[in-house]
Structure 1
Amino acid sequence: MEFLQVYKENRIATIQLNRPPANALSTQLIRELSKVFDDLEHDGEAKVIVLKGEGRFFSAGADIKEFTTIQNEADFAELGAFGQQLFDRMENYPKLIIAAIHGAALGGGLELAMACHIRLVSKEAKLGLPELQLGLIPGFAGTQRLPKYVGAAKAAEMLVTSEPITGEEAVSWGLATAAYPDEDLFEKAYSLAGKAAAKSSLSIRYTLELLQYAAKGQYGEGAKKESQYFGKVFVSEDGQEGIQAFIEKRKPNFKN
C-alpha cells in the first residue's frame, strides 16, 4: 500500500491514511481503501476497525490537483460513483468502523468520515464540505449524508457558506458522538474499539445491519429482521456462552 498503513492488535485493525501533507483522497488512495476493506472483511483477527490520519489532518479533502487531469464530465461522474460505492459499502460494513478525526475532515475527508459507523473528534478539529467555494458540489454523497446527521437547514448552511464547524459543534449537531482534547483522541478511540472487540462478532454484524433499517426509515422490515436475528444469536455458540457467563457471574469468552 502506497498511501495506507494497516496494522492489527487486540482484534482491532487500524487503517491510517498516509498521504502527506493533507491525506487528500486521490483515486489511488480510494482504490487502496477498497482493497483493505476487502481484506479485512473476512480477517478473523480484526473485529473492529479504527480509521485515522497520519500527520496534521484526518483528511483535508479530495485531491484537487488530480481534478485537473480529468478530461470530461463522464470521468468526473465515474470518480464520484466509485467513491460512493466504497462509502456505501463502509456504511453497510459488517464490522464496526470508528473514525478518529483530528485536525480537519473537509470535503471528501468528511464524506469518508460520515461513511463510518461512529465518529470521534478532537475538540478543535474542523469539519465541513467547502466544495461550493470552488464552484463545485460534493461528489461522494455528502449532500445526502450530512442532512441525516445535522438536519437539512444546518447542512444547507454548511454547504452554501463553505464554513466548517468545530469538533465540539459537530457533537452538538449530532455529526460526531464525542469530542476530546487532541492528546486524548486516539486513546479514547481505541478504548471504544476495545469494548466493541470484546463482543461477539455475530452480534455486532447483526446489530450494524439492523441499524441501517432504522437509518432508512424501514421500521417494519427492521423489526421483522430483528426478531429473526434474535433467534439466530440465541442459539449461536456465542449466545449460549453469554447466557451461561451471566448465570455464572463471569465474563463471557466469545469464540467469534
Structure 2
Amino acid sequence: MGDLVTIERQGRVAIVRFDTGTRANALSQALIRALTDAARQFHDAPDVSTVVLTGRADQFTLGADLKDPERAASAGAGLSERRILLRAGPRLCQAWEDVDALTICAIEGWCVGGGMALAAACDLRVASREATLYVPEVERGMNMSWGSIPRFVALVGPARTKRLAALCEKVSAQTAHDWGLCDHITEPGGALRQALEIAKRASGLPPTALKMVKQDVNVAAHALARATAHRDLEAFLLTQESEDFREGVAAFLEGRKPDYSGD
C-alpha cells in the first residue's frame, strides 16, 4: 500500500486512512488498488469488529484522478483491455461492501464521484457539517458506475438518487443527513472522532452477532444490486466513445463550461 494508505489498530477497531499528499486526494489507479487491498485484509478478520475509512483531514476525495498517468496510458487500449482496466472501481467498492466487520466512512470536505461510490459501499457515513457530497459523472458526459446506483437507491430511494446522480445536485451534509445518505453530522474536523466513537461502541458488542446482522441487512438491501448494475461498466465504455464525454472531460480540465452536442 506504500505511502497512500495507512492502517492503524485500536483494539477491535481498525482505521484506514488514504492521503495522496495533494489537495484533491484523487482516486488514482494506484490508490484504488491500495484501498482494495486494504479492504480485503478485513474480509476474514475475526479480531476486527469495525473498520473506519477516512481520507485527508481537510478532504475526503475529489473523485477519480482524470490526470492519472495510468489512465492516460490506457486511452489507446482496445475494448477488451479497457473492460479489464475499468473493473478496478467496481472491485474497490465491492471489496469494501464485502468487509465482514461494520464499516464507517468519515467524511471531511468534498466527497465526489468515485468517493461517493466508495462511501455508499460502507455501512455508515459520518460527515462534517461543512462536507459536500457530489456525483458529477453525468456533467462529464458519463454514466455513474462502480455499482453505485443500487446502493444509492437503497439509501435514499429512486427520486433522490436521480437528483444526486442524474441531475448532479451538490448535497450539503445537512441535506445528506435528512435524506439518509449520511448517518451523523459533526462540527468541522470531528468526523473521524465521531466515527471512532461509534466504532468503539460497536466493538463492545458480540462481534459474530454484529457481523451476522450486517450481512443479513446487506443481503436484504442489495438483493437485486447485481441485476441492476451489471451493465454499468459497459455503459461507461460506451459513453467514453461519445463526443459529449470528450467535451465534458476537456471542459473540466480547462476550467470552462462544456458545450454538449448530444452525441
Specify the TM-score bucket, using the shorter chain as the normaliser: 0.7 to 0.9
Structure 2 residue aligned with 1:53? 55
Structure 1 residue aligned with 2:74? 70
Task: Confirm whether residue 157 of structure 1 aligns to residue 159 of structure 2.
Answer: no
Q: Cα RMSD between the aligned structures?
A: 2.0
Tell me the alpha carbon deviations over residues 170-190 of structure 1, each in whole angstroms, 9 at most, x when there is no partner: 011111111111133222111
Tell me the alpha carbon deviations over residues 14-35 of structure 1, each in whole angstroms, 9 at most, x when there is no partner: 1001112222111111211222
Contact 1:94 1:204 in 2 (8 A): no
Residue among 185, 193, 208 paired with 2:214: 208
Q: CA deviation at 1:76?
A: 4.2
For residues 40 and 209 of structure 1, the distance between their equivalents in structure 2, rounded to whole angstroms, comes to 14
Q: 1:99 to 1:47 in 2, by over 3 A?
A: same
Structure 2 residue aligned with 1:186? 192
For residues 216 and 163 of structure 1, the distance between their equivalents in structure 2, rounded to whole angstroms, comes to 24
Give the TM-score normalised by structure 1.
0.78
Structure 2 residue aligned with 1:105? 111
The letter for the 1-side match of 2:17 is Q
For residues 121 and 51 of structure 2, the distance between their equivalents in structure 1, rounded to whole angstroms, comes to 13
The letter for the 1-side match of 2:153 is P
Structure with more helix by fraction = 1
For residues 41 and 91 of structure 1, the distance between their equivalents in structure 2, rounded to whole angstroms, comes to 10
Structure 2 residue aligned with 1:139? 145
1:233-252 alignment, distance < 5 Å: none
For structure 2, the residue ranges without an aligned partner over 5 or more in a row are 225-263
Q: 1:93 to 1:56 in 2, by over 3 A?
A: same
Q: 1:43 to 1:206 in 2, by over 3 A?
A: closer
For residues 103 and 55 of structure 2, the distance between their equivalents in structure 1, rounded to whole angstroms, comes to 14
Structure 2 residue aligned with 1:10? 11
Q: 1:217 to 1:69 in 2, by over 3 A?
A: closer
The letter for the 1-side match of 2:38 is V
Q: CA deviation at 1:195?
A: 0.6
Work out which structure has the larger RCO, using CA pairs closer than 8 Å and 6 or more positions apart in sequence: 2
Q: 1:146 to 1:79 in 2, by over 3 A?
A: farther
Structure 2 residue aligned with 1:115? 121
The letter for the 2-side match of 1:38 is R
Q: Aligned residues, how many?
A: 218
Residue among 13, 17, 21 paired with 2:23: 21
Contact 2:126 2:182 in 1 (8 A): yes
For residues 218 and 157 of structure 2, the distance between their equivalents in structure 1, rounded to whole angstroms, comes to 18
